[in-house]
Structure 1
Amino acid sequence: MASVSNNPNPMPNVGAIVAISVTVFVVTVAVKIWIIVCICNKAKKHTEQYRDDSRFIPLNMVKFLDDMEREKPIRFTSQQLRIATDNFSFLLGSGGFGTVYKGIFNNGTAVAVKVLNGTSDSIEEQFMAEVSTMGRTHHFNLVRLYGFCFESSLRALVYEFMVNGSLDNHLFKANKGPIIGFEKLYEIAVGTARGIAYLHEECPQRIVHYDIKPGNILLNSNFCAKVADFGLAKLCNRDNTHITMTRGRGTPGYAAPEVWLPLPVSHKCDVYSFGMLLFEIIGRRRNYMDVGLGDSQQWFPIWVWGKYEKKELKDLMDVCAIEEKDHEAVERMVKVALCCVQYRPETRPVMSIVVKMLESALPVPESLNPFSYMFSGVNEVDDSLARLAWNGGGADWSSSDVITKSTVVAETPLMRKYEITIASD
């Protein structure tokens, strides 16, 4: 008989086991990958949902973010401002357009509240001028508008508080307290120029200030300059090179000649005013008060021109008590001021160029007499002005660009860029 095997533990099929193991492994890995993908997709959708769908953001937060995006000024009530100012008991100063009071809100924020004065029409004009300009601008060298109040009993503007007040209080103050050093005054001049340059050249619409003067330059705790008081400011499209004026604007002594005469007005009127401000910073005196110059009838800017023309700026340094270490900076400021106060607007540089000249990034061109139009027998159009031209072949001012009335110079791309034109007759 044939024997029959009856082994209770036969050898397993190794190939089948390996196949099963591989299959299980692959399935496991696939499941894990699928789970990871699902989790990532869910997280992505969740993130996008919260990012794109405002329904998941509280309505008050949506409003806050929208306001922050637009930098919308806050609308205060008269009661809020009366509480903040202790019923307007802390007077900071006053001027032709309003009275300014100090206020403190519950969160400790100090503010300057400017209560507008005048007739209903003038108040509304000033209110719209300041809110429409300051409400849409933000620059380190511009004072910040926090908000406003417009009620029948109170029309007011709320600004950030500048602890060191206005520049004129430091230049012309009667009490002989601590005096700002010239190095800091130079920084104030540069900061002011940057603020004006921003208004003219960087805003969506050009903003012409019309009233640049020491009283409208405020100083924070670090004595950094902030251009303020936009009650006369006007928005203008960049395509419009000149602005129609219905009446004179600005402050006598700082306002450009074209502002008071029946002449076209452009943003160059602020350049002129800045030049006059530079003269007052240099002399630490108001331009019309020339005590100590030997001739009480002589206007300080003309006296400075005389010293510059005769190459006697050392006399200016002595009279104005300017230290030796500051002589180079003062000489640069004198040259820039003379460029800025040229009689004809087209011969004044734009403010971005003024900034570069003050910062020594560009040399300052030699200037012709900007005041000769004030003397009899001189033709202000033909003989009194430096014809400042941008050197089209490079990036520097060149003395060869000062031309006579008989010269005709073709406009170069750089001249167009920096709005410098040549008067040929």
Structure 2
Amino acid sequence: MLASSQPPNFGKDGHFLAFSKMISFFSIMAADMSSTNNSTPSSSSNGDEVTTATAVTAIILSIVVGVVIIVIVFLIVRCYQKTRSQSANIAVAAAAEETVNAPGSTPPSISIAVTNDSSAAAEPIERFLDDMMRDKPMRFTAQDLERFTQNYDQKLGFGGFGVVYKGRFPNGVPVAVKVLKAAMNKRAEEQFMAEVGTIGRTNHINLVKLYGFCFDRSIKALVYEYMENGSLDRFLFDENHRIPWGKLQEIALGTAKGIRYLHEECQQKIVHYDIKPANVLLTTNFNPKVADFGLAKFCDRERSYVTLTGGRGTPGYAAPELWMPIPVTHKCDVYSFGMLLFEILGRRRNLEFLESVESQEFEWFPRWVWQKFEHGEMENIVSACGIEEKDREKAERMCQVALWCVQYQPEARPSMSSVVRMLEGEEEIVPPTNPFQYMTSLSVSPASGTVSENTSTSRGTGTDDSESSSSRPLIRNSA
């Protein structure tokens, strides 16, 4: 007989061992019974009875052995399935724990315990919950930032806000860490909250992604996706970094779509207030993403105007109403985008200075474009900007859109959805009116290099001084 003090092992490594022991046990029993029957003296009188009993016993024993084998096989299969399921759950839990504990990792995925029958139905729900968690900005520690940047080893740039460093998450994803100045005044704190509150709630292919932030006593920082080609201004104003004008047109269109999303597709309207080439970042494939939401502000869709305390934006790109005591709407972003279009069109700054012996002269490119457009000399604009014939139609379309965007009256400017359709050629462009009719003179301060404007409304003067400037703009023809 089989003697053992240990119970049969039905675990992962003992399925077939237990099965073989059970078969051996019943084989020994069958052998014992057979030997017992064979050792019993037979006689003529009971020979048939013994033979019959032996056959019945063998049949019963065979049936019992068959049933036991079936039960054992069933138990082995069930134990094997249970072991595989437990191993898979342990592996998933370990991976999730490793992801959570890894500094700078994306938010953990949410798993739902389901049976095999319901796993297919729950998969869309799991993907939905995972996306919800990943879209949420994470809060990092100062130690996390030191690990991401290798103790702030590589500097990407700096400005009035602080310094930007290149970093990398433990999974290899590159990031840009914007470290804010240590002493944050009230305005800086407002910009920090605006950045996290606005871009942290958005998700669009033409808006830079905010992975997370750090806000503690030692350091305040924002962690963004890393943009390989930097900002757009480098490819507009640096002759050593030139890209085809057709690609610039695609960048303009993508930027317009990003602003359209902020104005018309978010749950709450977001006004950026600082659209300019330096705040348009480019991926490896030169896909544009609007960045720097430090001045951004939410605006209820039911309200037409935004209340501001002080001027916002960058001179040269900011709409006139931002520097005047008049109501401000989201159309100020449309004006700034129009100024951006002019710089893309000419691949130069809108305002450039020409040093001379006696004085310092300048030419404002947007106004020169209007003069040429007004006299039907669009071909002069295209050729002066070094745009090839194959891109002429797109260039002329961009020129007219820019003139519409910089209209003095905010209500005369188109919406960003209309801007996108016009740039794509899906909406007919009505010839624009003079956007600079309100300007009477421009003067330059040689000491500061600033431009001051004396303005009057067109209704007050009833005159058009667009012909007052006769000098050619400073335009660099591109190779």
Q: Where does residue 413 of structure 2 map in the other structure?
A: 348
Q: SS in structure 2 opposite 1:375?
A: strand
Q: Where does residue 96 of structure 1 map in the other structure?
A: 160
Q: SS in structure 1 opposite 2:431?
A: coil
Q: Where does residue 64 of structure 2 map in the other structure?
A: none
Cα distance per residue 1:101-155 (max 9 Å; x no partner) = 1111221110001112363322321111011111110000000000000011111
Change (3 A) 1:48 1:211: farther
Cα distance per residue 1:8-44 (max 9 Å; x no partner) = xxxxxxxxxxxxxxxxxxxxxxxxxxxxxxxxxxxxx
Cα distance per residue 1:363-390 (max 9 Å; x no partner) = 11111110110116963357889xxxxx
Aligned residue runs from structure 1 range 169-248, under 5 A: 169-173=234-238, 176-248=239-311
Instruction: State TM-score, norm by structure 2.
Output: 0.65
**Is 2:435 aligned against 1:357?**
no
Change (3 A) 1:262 1:235: same
Deviates more, 1:373-382 or 1:67-76: 373-382
Aligned residue runs from structure 1 range 4-19, under 5 A: none
Which has more radius of gyration?
A: 2
**Is 2:366 aligned against 1:301?**
yes
Change (3 A) 1:366 1:383: farther
Rounded Cα–Cα distance in structure 1 between residues aligned with 2:117 and 2:324: 61
Change (3 A) 1:321 1:352: same
**Is 2:143 aligned against 1:79?**
yes
Q: SS in structure 2 opposite 1:343?
A: coil
- Code of the residue aligned with 2:340 in structure 1: it is L
Q: Where does residue 112 of structure 1 map in the other structure?
A: 176
Q: Where does residue 423 of structure 1 map in the other structure?
A: none
- Unaligned runs of at least 5 residues, structure 1: 1-44, 386-425
Aligned residue runs from structure 1 range 126-205, under 5 A: 126-173=191-238, 176-205=239-268
Q: CA deviation at 1:91?
A: 1.3
The sequence identity of aligned pairs, in percent, is 58
- Unaligned runs of at least 5 residues, structure 2: 1-113, 442-454, 464-479
Q: SS in structure 1 opposite 2:458?
A: coil
Instruction: State TM-score, norm by structure 1.
Output: 0.72
Aligned residue runs from structure 1 range 32-71, under 5 A: 65=129, 68-69=132-133, 71=135
Count of matched residue pairs:
330
- Code of the residue aligned with 2:337 in structure 1: it is F
Rounded Cα–Cα distance in structure 1 between residues aligned with 2:211 and 2:280: 18
Deviates more, 1:283-292 or 1:355-364: 283-292
Q: Where does residue 333 of structure 1 map in the other structure?
A: 398
Q: CA deviation at 1:248?
A: 0.4
Rounded Cα–Cα distance in structure 2 between residues aligned with 1:290 and 1:171: 17
Contact 1:275 1:341 in 2 (8 A): yes
Q: SS in structure 1 opposite 2:206?
A: coil
- Code of the residue aligned with 1:201 in structure 2: it is E
Contact 1:378 1:384 in 2 (8 A): no
Q: SS in structure 1 opposite 2:351?
A: coil
- Code of the residue aligned with 2:229 in structure 1: it is N
Q: Where does residue 24 of structure 1 map in the other structure?
A: none
Q: Where does residue 417 of structure 1 map in the other structure?
A: none
Rounded Cα–Cα distance in structure 1 between residues aligned with 2:250 and 2:293: 22
Q: SS in structure 1 opposite 2:215?
A: strand
Q: What's the RMSD between the two structures over aligned residues?
A: 2.7
Contact 1:272 1:340 in 2 (8 A): yes
Change (3 A) 1:291 1:329: farther
Q: CA deviation at 1:51?
A: 10
